[in-house]
Structure 1
């Protein structure tokens, strides 16, 4: 007579193939699931932003190496980014105030330096702000001023760039290095090629930008159209940034077409 004692299934229960897919980290981090991870990075931030009613943002770029008490112009740049984060939040529509959606919410790369300053200004004004952090070999930690529920971390630069761009109602660029230039030229390229709406772009501290970039030479050699030199403007103060954004068409609490 056959035994009725069930065969031991410990090995089956312990097998990775038996894990629920959503709980199988080895599977989710495998090469074949890269597309799924892209989707997850998009969807997670997208859902949180919708939950907070964020319709549009003002993206602030700038160096992570700039400190509040830094040398030379660093302190001035930090102070201006902090002041701008506050005034743009107050005037742009970051507070719901009976509205269903928030507009012109400050969004940064989430790290230190200029990013910290802009998030800090928004926080001190009592407004939410966004930090789109990226995982780096030398780990970048989020600054302590972005709204915790709107502080994200991405593995893929491409998905982070997409989220930075897709709700952008304006772009403000403070002095920075390779990363700042990368983000600046991405937005300028989208503008130049007509792949984005005509969002205003303002560079802070004209002297700095004229020194590190010779865009007039690009036009002179025929690499860009002379009209491309008018895709951006300059400002020297936080109030000046706001005025230039408004002059270039920024509208608080306005409907926004997505960049992508």
Structure 2
């Protein structure tokens, strides 16, 4: 019986299959290794930066707030949601996010991209016909983007630090609706950046003064000598979306919108 011909020997098969032979840009094991964290950090910066530049996003208004607040929640939660939605519409309509002719968009609503009050602000922008940004973060329990941020401006970050950098670096204003630990973290991060001169001074507006006064004794920081009395002027309170926009518009020299203006 004649034996079949043995399969041809490929002398460099092991070389072709070696991990070292993969193109670095296509080698996921390499890119996700501990040693390449700096490269991944840079990629997270550059991807969002280049997309935002292509869309002509020159400045933003960052809106923080709880992911646990819903339109159909209790009366207070529903009121917060409605206010964030209304503010997203006001800022997008009157702040320059619709300026397509100039190729430069100002005061584009930017949120953490999730549900709740972030969703409400993105929703208001969408109802104005304006683009808005969702800076999502990968979490152990996956956060999915809300349906109202502009799909092409909806990002996913692994690193909180890079997400915070993109939230802060174009901000003309920070609007903080009621929230929990994450909202507090973002609020005090920005206040510290402004206080130390690492970020230009911009309006920081806290919505629902009663909520914030109940949680935090801001004056107590100054009374204890932990901050300067003047640091209390780094933020302001507002109890209506119109008042939020008025504070921001006054700071930017934009004509305010009448409080009785309808959609």
5 Å-filtered alignment, 1:189-204, equals: 189-204=192-207
**Which residue does the alignment assign to 1:227?**
230
Residue 139 (structure 2) pairs with residue 136 (structure 1): yes
Residue of 87, 92, 97 corresponding to 1:94: 97
Deviations 1:68-100 (A, max 9, x none): 011131000000000110110010000124212
Task: Indicate how the Cα distance of structure 1 residues 22 and 97 shifts in structure 2: closer, same or farther if over 3 A, else same.
Answer: closer
> 1:32 corresponds to which residue?
35
Whole-Å Cα distance in 2 between the matches of residues 250 and 193 of structure 1? 22
Residues 3-53 of structure 1 deviation map (CA, whole Å, 9 limit, x = unaligned)? xx9852221111111111111000000001000000000000000000000
Q: Which runs of 5+ in 2 are unaligned?
A: 1-7, 255-263
Q: Give the 3-state SS of the residue equivalent to 1:93 in structure 2.
A: coil
Match of 2:75, SS state, is coil
Greater relative contact order (Cα < 8 A, sep 6+): 1
For the residues of structure 1 that align with 2:121 and 2:87, how far apart are their CA atoms?
7
User: Could you tell me how far apart the structure 2 residues matched to 1:77 and 1:122 are?
Assistant: 16
Instruction: Select the residue among 106, 113, 116 that pairs with 2:119.
Output: 116
Partners of 2:150 and 2:100 in 1: CA distance: 18
In structure 2, what is the equivalent of residue 250 of structure 1? 252
Assess if the C-alpha contact under 8 Å between 1:234 and 1:244 holds in 2: no
Question: What is the Cα deviation at residue 149 of structure 1?
Answer: 0.5
For 1:209, the equivalent position in structure 2 comes to 212
- Number of equivalent positions: 247
**Which 4+ stretches in 1 moved above 3 angstroms?**
none
Indicate yes or no: 2:239 matched with 1:236. Answer: yes
Q: Name structure 1 gaps, 5 residues minimum.
A: 253-260
**What TM-score, normalized to structure 2?**
0.92
Q: Could you tell me whether the CA contact under 8 Å between 1:199 and 1:250 is conserved in 2?
A: no
Classify the secondary structure of the residue corresponding to 2:252.
coil
Cα distance in 1 for partners of 2:100, 2:165 equals 28
189-198 vs 26-35, which moves further: 189-198
Q: Return the alpha-carbon distance in structure 2 between the equivalents of residues 251 and 102 of structure 1.
A: 16
SS at structure 2 position matched to 1:149:
helix
Q: 2:24 pairs with 16, 21, 24, which one? A: 21
2:107 corresponds in structure 1 to 104
